[in-house]
Amino acid sequence: MTSRSIVVVTAGLGQPSSTRMLGEQLAAATVTALGEPAEVRVVEIRDLAHQLVDNALTGFPATELREALEAVAAADAVIAVTPIFNASFSGLFKTFFDVQEQDALTGKPVLIAATGGSERHSLALEHAMRPLFSYLRAVVVPTAVYAASPDWASAGRQGLNGRVERAAGELASLVAGRPATKAEDPFDHPTPFAELLAG
């Protein structure tokens, strides 16, 4: 049986990063809610920063960036997490999705989440992130998860953990309703040699 593929795209800048921690928590909750095998890959955009700038200027991704973009395109679901700066997603986060192939997220289940210093930035999920992924024609789950600094201290079922479980359950339901995707191997259907000669 083909296992599901979940890619966490995290734009945290720190080491360790609360943004990555939130992404991993959402991924673990999604796998639990899914109740079937799933491969989770974390893409740290921070590590691709220089390659992103180079790609934006040249149009050609370096190896690590290309592999990350292909992983997102081939995933059964994406969990996208960014820190909030100046009431919106980070520039690094936006650049990653700017260089992604145009139709890579079409119809793909996406869970959006963000971290920030205070609760007053939580609406950035609705006025910035949700429109971005709607424009990319992704299927965004209804519950977005925002974690302000105080949320980590009150992570019970009524707090952050409850929101994580609800959003993860929604993502798992979308994933379970779709056939598992498998990245197509270009060598699966080679062009016959006689056809190449005739061409």
**Are 71 and 43 within 8 A, CB to CB?**
yes
Q: Tell me the per-residue pLDDT of 86-135, one tens digit each, with 9 for 90 and over.
A: 889 999 999 999 999 989 999 999 999 999 987 878 889 999 999 999 99
- What mean pLDDT is predicted for residues 30-35? 94
In which residue are the tokens 């936006």 written?
Answer: 94
pLDDT at 156 over 90: no
Q: What angle do CA 176, 182, 183 make, to 5 degrees?
A: 140
Share of the chain above pLDDT 70, in %: 89
Most distant CA pair in the chain, distance: 69
- 198/29 Cα distance (integer angstroms): 54
- Highest-pLDDT range among 34-38, 73-77, 158-162: 73-77
Give the burial class of 97: count Cβ atoms within 10 A of its Cβ; 0-12 exposed, 13-18 middle, 19 or more buried: buried
- 182/195 Cα distance (integer angstroms): 27
The domain segmentation of the chain, as residue ranges, is 4-198
**Candidate CATH numbers 3.90.78.10, 1.10.10.10, 3.20.20.70, 3.40.50.360; the one for domain 4-198:** 3.40.50.360
Q: Tell me the per-residue pLDDT of 44-99, one tens digit each, with 9 for 90 and over.
A: 999 999 999 999 999 899 999 999 999 999 999 999 999 999 889 999 999 999 99
**119 or 38, higher pLDDT:** 38
- What mean pLDDT is predicted for residues 10-32? 93
For residue 70, CA distances in Å to 17, 95, 144, 147, 163 come to: 24, 16, 25, 28, 29
- Model pLDDT, residue 170: 96
> CB neighbours of 186 closer than 8 A, spacing ≥ 6?
none
Q: Tell me the per-residue pLDDT of 163-198, one tens digit each, with 9 for 90 and over.
A: 999 999 999 999 998 755 544 555 556 777 777 777
Would you list the DSSP string of 131-177? HHHHHTT-EE-S--EEEEGGGGTS-STTTHHHHHHHHHHHHHHHHHT
